Structure 1
Amino acid sequence: MVPVRKGVILFTASNASVTSGLSPHAYAASKVAIVGLTRNLCVDLGKHGIRVNCISPSLVATPLATKALNVDRTTAKKLYESFTILKGAVLEEEDVANTALFLASDESRIISGQNIVIDGGYGTTNQAFPVKLQELTSSNQV
């Protein structure tokens, strides 16, 4: 890439790179490290015309995820829809692939050093308060 002064490096991390307390420490640390590497490489390789970005998807009902959660694909999708902010949309493998294709294409020629979070808005808010509020109000403790 350096000799031709053009290229794209695209990493995959996780929405665990922007949310805290929901993943094992080693997993979260590795995903945050990928985002840091993305940013550092962006600075280092930009002078060679090389773009570096990262995609951080939320739960996708892949065989690996469903096995880890010990649920079927339908249940995993329902779980995703229950916690995402963007209702009516469930993150699919194709969504991740389309984001990758966009970032690898010339349509994103000026985007570099970014961590594109694909989570239906989940990472934009602290879910702890509404969950606790619902628990308290459903048990009439408020």
Structure 2
Amino acid sequence: MDINVEGVMHDIKHVARIMIHKRKGCIISTASIGGIMGGGSYFYTASKHVVVGLTKKSVAELGRSGIQVNCISPATIATNLVLNSMGMTPSPEAKAKVEAVIEGASPLREANLKEEDIVEATLYLASKDSKYVSGHNLIVDGGLTVVLDETAVFVKY
């Protein structure tokens, strides 16, 4: 909660101070599909849900100053942090196993979510192409939240 809620809240507060004077800016936070569907721990789910709420509240306060505020909710990515949280020793084999399960659950075939995909989504929200996008939670999950129940995404490996 300290990082996912208070950290995001303080980040928005402090960068907004600078952006308000410039009458422009773009703030992008990271939520999670866990905050949309449930899954994971109670604290994680609640904290990521709060990020979406903070995004929307910030739009109401900062939009008139020309500041866009959005968040991104990615599905699970087989990073070392995720592998460790699942009790797996990070290795190419462990990463491939997790990626196979995620890919198998996704309705979007032949695609695996990678860190670069979140970078691309962030670049879009930070670009002039999204000049009229604010208060949006960009879900980058290959359709998982549309077709799965909350337990399917957060399977123990």
Kept in 1, the 8 Å contact 2:37–2:149? The answer is no
Runs of 4+ in structure 1 displaced over 3 angstroms?
Answer: none
Specify every segment of 5 or more residues in structure 1 that has no aligned partner in the other structure, as ranges.
132-142
Indicate if the aligned counterparts of 2:35 and 2:44 stay in contact, CA closer than 8 A. no
1:24: Cα distance to partner? 1.1
Confirm or deny that 1:95 pairs with 2:117. Answer: yes
Deviations 1:84-112 (A, max 9, x none): 12111110000000000110111100000
**What's the TM-score once normalised by structure 2's chain length?**
0.77
Identity %: 37
Of Structure 1 and Structure 2, the greater helix share is in: 2
Q: 1:16 aligns with which of 30, 34, 38?
A: 34
Q: Which runs of 5+ in 2 are unaligned?
A: 1-18, 89-93, 153-157
Paired with 1:54 and 1:37, the residues of 2 have a C-alpha distance of 9
Shift of 1:76: 1.4
The 10-residue stretch of structure 1 (76-85 or 35-44) with the greater mean CA deviation from structure 2: 76-85
Q: Paired residue for 1:2? A: 20
Q: Distance in 2 between matches of 1:17 and 1:85?
A: 20
Give the greater-gyration-radius structure (CA): 1
Across the aligned residues of Structure 1 and Structure 2, the Cα RMSD in angstroms comes to 1.4
| Counterpart residue number, 2:138 | 116
Q: In structure 2, the residue corresponding to 1:3 is in which secondary structure? A: helix
Aligned length: 128
What letter is aligned with 1:47?
R
Judged with a 3 Å threshold, the aligned counterparts in structure 2 of structure 1 residues 27 and 94 are, in CA distance, closer, same or farther, namely same
SS of the residue corresponding to residue 22 of structure 2 reads coil
**Deviation string, structure 1 residues 105-130 (Cα, Å, up to 9, x no partner):** 111000000101111001113447xx
